[in-house]
Amino acid sequence: MQEVFWEEDPSETDGIYSALGRIRKVLESRVTYSENPGAIPEDEDPVFWFLDESKEGNAMLYASTAVEALRAKGIPARYVEGYFLSESAPTGEKGQAELTGNDAHAWVEIYFDGIGWLPADVTPGYYYNVASLQKMVGSPDSVQKNVVLENNSLSAEQITGVENRKSKAGEAVLPVLRSVSLFLLGLLGVLLILLTLLVIAAEAARIICLGPAAKKQQKERPGRRIRRTEARIYQYLCQWGIDAGLGWETAATDAELARRFPAVEPGEYTRVCHLIEKHIYGEILLSPYEERTLNYFLEKLTEPVPGCSWKMRLKLRYACLRRVNTKKKKRKHSAFQQK
Note whether 154 and 12 are same-domain residues. yes
Note whether 9 and 128 are same-domain residues. yes
Strand ranges for the chain from DSSP E:
32-33, 56-57, 77-83, 104-112, 116-120, 143-146
Domain count, the chain: 3
Q: What is the pLDDT of residue 293?
A: 92
Note whether 188 and 213 are same-domain residues. yes
pLDDT digits (tens, 9 = 90+) for 274-328: 999 988 888 888 888 898 899 899 889 888 888 888 788 877 777 777 665 555 4
Q: What is the pLDDT of residue 138?
A: 45
Query: Domain residues for 317?
Result: 220-338
Residue 12 maps to a domain: yes
CATH of the domain at 47: 3.10.620
Residue 242 maps to a domain: yes
Helix count (H) and strand count (E) of the chain? 14, 6
For residues 170 and 157, give the distance between their C-alpha atoms in angstroms, rounded to a whole number: 15
Q: What is the pLDDT of residue 153?
A: 43
Residue 65 maps to a domain: yes
For residues 233 and 224, give the distance between their C-alpha atoms in angstroms, rounded to a whole number: 14
Q: What is the pLDDT of residue 176?
A: 84
For residues 272 and 254, give the distance between their C-alpha atoms in angstroms, rounded to a whole number: 10
Q: What is the mean pLDDT of residues 99-121?
A: 85
Residue 183 maps to a domain: yes
Residue 167 maps to a domain: no
Q: What is the mean pLDDT of residues 124-147?
A: 53
Task: Say if residues 221 and 326 touch (Cβ distance below 8 Å).
Answer: no
Note whether 22 and 104 are same-domain residues. yes
Res. 101 pLDDT band, cuts 50 70 90: confident
Note whether 81 and 126 are same-domain residues. yes
Q: What is the pLDDT of the chain when averaged over all its residues?
A: 77
Give the best-scoring range by mean pLDDT among 160-164, 189-193, 205-209, 280-284: 189-193
Note whether 15 and 152 are same-domain residues. yes
For residues 239 and 302, give the distance between their C-alpha atoms in angstroms, rounded to a whole number: 10
pLDDT above 80 (res 171): no
Note whether 157 and 8 are same-domain residues. yes
CB atoms within 10 A of CB 93: 5
Q: What is the pLDDT of residue 4?
A: 81
Res. 229 pLDDT band, cuts 50 70 90: confident
Determine the Cα angle at 192 with ends 189 and 197, to 5°.
125
Determine the Cα angle at 309 with ends 308 and 315, to 5°.
95
Note whether 140 and 253 are same-domain residues. no
φ, ψ for residue 49, nearest 5 deg: -65, -40
Q: Which of the residue ranges 142-156, 209-223, 228-242, 271-285 would you say has the lowest mean pLDDT? A: 142-156
Note whether 109 and 139 are same-domain residues. yes
For residues 98 and 89, give the distance between their C-alpha atoms in angstroms, rounded to a whole number: 9
Note whether 55 and 195 are same-domain residues. no
pLDDT above 60 (res 145): no
Residue 198 maps to a domain: yes
Residue 62 maps to a domain: yes
3-class DSSP state of 111? strand
Closest CA to 144 of 175, 115, 106, 102: 106
Domain boundary among the residues 131, 161, 191 is at 161
Q: What is the mean pLDDT of residues 34-55?
A: 88
Overall size of the chain counted in residues:
339
Residue 174 maps to a domain: no
pLDDT above 90 (res 271): yes
Q: Which of the residue ranges 26-35, 54-63, 308-317 would you say has the lowest mean pLDDT? A: 308-317
Note whether 75 and 48 are same-domain residues. yes
Q: What is the pLDDT of residue 304?
A: 85
Q: What is the mean pLDDT of residues 185-190?
A: 92
Contacts of 190 (CB under 8 A, 6+ apart): none
Note whether 297 and 244 are same-domain residues. yes
CB atoms within 10 A of CB 153: 15
Q: What is the mean pLDDT of residues 88-108?
A: 75
Q: What is the mean pLDDT of residues 181-194?
A: 92
